[in-house]
Chains A and B, each alone.
Chain A
Amino acid sequence: MSFINLKDKVVQVKVVYYGPGRCGKTTNLEYINRTYRKQIVSEMVSLKTHGDRTLFFDFLPFDMGKIKGYDIKIQLYTVPGQVKYNATRKLVLRGVDGIVFVADAMEKQREKNIRSLNQLHENLQSYKESIFRIPLVMQYNKVDLKEHGIPILPTSVLQNDLNSRLKVPYFEASAITGYNVAATLKKIISSSVISIQKKLL
């Protein structure tokens, strides 16, 4: 749940990038951190292992300007993607306002995407949240790999696997080159802010 400070007129919105291991969640945040340096007041925090894998989470606070006189502070988090870290993923999801599900478009990752999305569904349930209600955006990452001859899943297959029931907005993207990273971010911010507004009215 977002926190709204009526005295200082600040709304804090928590957005979590979720997805299977090595799908590019941290890469999304790193790109945002590089590209929007001016709007980011502090350093990106990364809690990772020696092998550069996310251990706990990455954190990037982001100022979005004002809506109706309220300062919107977006807090971007990633979860650790590795299967064994589900307890940690659950902790990071606490109080989440919006989720970007980053799917790995590589053909061999097909099953991992589905498993990760199912686990997200379960994890949200443990907080009495529903994957069908929470603002969610799908990002089909690594589409650039096609040019390098690596087999990737067509968007129609990914849509069928992951988004046939959810029917949420989706983007093909390449976090490493920045393609559609900003579009994904904008979409999840607007969905989250609208959902918070609705809860308040």
Chain B
Amino acid sequence: MNYGIVSQEQLEQIDAILSDKLIKLGVDCVIIIDMAGNIITAKDNGENKYDVYSFAALAAGNFATVDAMAKLVGEQEFSLLFHKGKDSNIHFSKIDDELLLISMFGRDISLGFLRLNVVDVIEKIRNIWDKK
């Protein structure tokens, strides 16, 4: 995989997919990070400003911890995580061994609908990587 550097063209394509499939749907913020805690790209709806850098570091740590827990119970991985709050929720989904897609969303989107779209987004992003 072309990890380390992503071309401008690839990033633009990914950003377009995130905007089109998730932000338009009403997701507050979408971040793609790598497992080291680096941000690949971040998109938001312009209303909610999150501290995405701290978020990425914590999310990578969180995912790594859950991954270690999965191994302890004999699972290969838990490929998706979901945190539910009163007003906002966070959904984590693995794109591949190095990348994670994180969506932050409020009460107006159902988890099922979001998951359907996330699956679609991940499929499209994988295609972009594969073309490289």
**Residue positions of A touching B, CB distance < 8 A:** 1-7, 12, 14, 41-43, 45, 47, 56-57, 59, 61, 73, 75, 77, 87, 91-92, 94-96, 200
Contact = CB atoms under 8 A, between A and B. Distances in A.
Interface string B71-97: 000000000000000000000000000
A41 B8 CA distance: 26
Contact of A94 (B35, B39, B54, B65): B35
A2 B54 contact: no
B6 A5 contact: yes
A14 B60 CA distance: 13
- How many interface residues does chain B have, given as a range? 20 to 34
The listed residue with most B CB atoms (<10 A of its CB), out of A3, A42, A73, is A3
Contact of B61 (A3, A43, A56, A87): A56
B119 interface: no
Contacts of B5: 4, 6, 200
A53 to B, nearest CB: 16
A3 B38 contact: yes
The 10 closest A-B pairs by CB, nearest first: A95-B36, A3-B38, A7-B11, A61-B53, A42-B51, A59-B57, A7-B8, A91-B64, A12-B38, A6-B8
Contacts of B60: 94
23 contacts: A1-B4, A2-B4, A3-B4, A3-B36, A3-B39, A5-B11, A6-B6, A6-B11, A41-B51, A43-B51, A43-B54, A45-B57, A45-B58, A57-B57, A59-B57, A61-B53, A73-B53, A75-B38, A77-B37, A91-B65, A91-B68, A95-B36, A95-B37
A3 B34 contact: yes
A80 to B, nearest CB: 11
B40 interface: yes
B12 A1 contact: no
B34 A42 contact: no
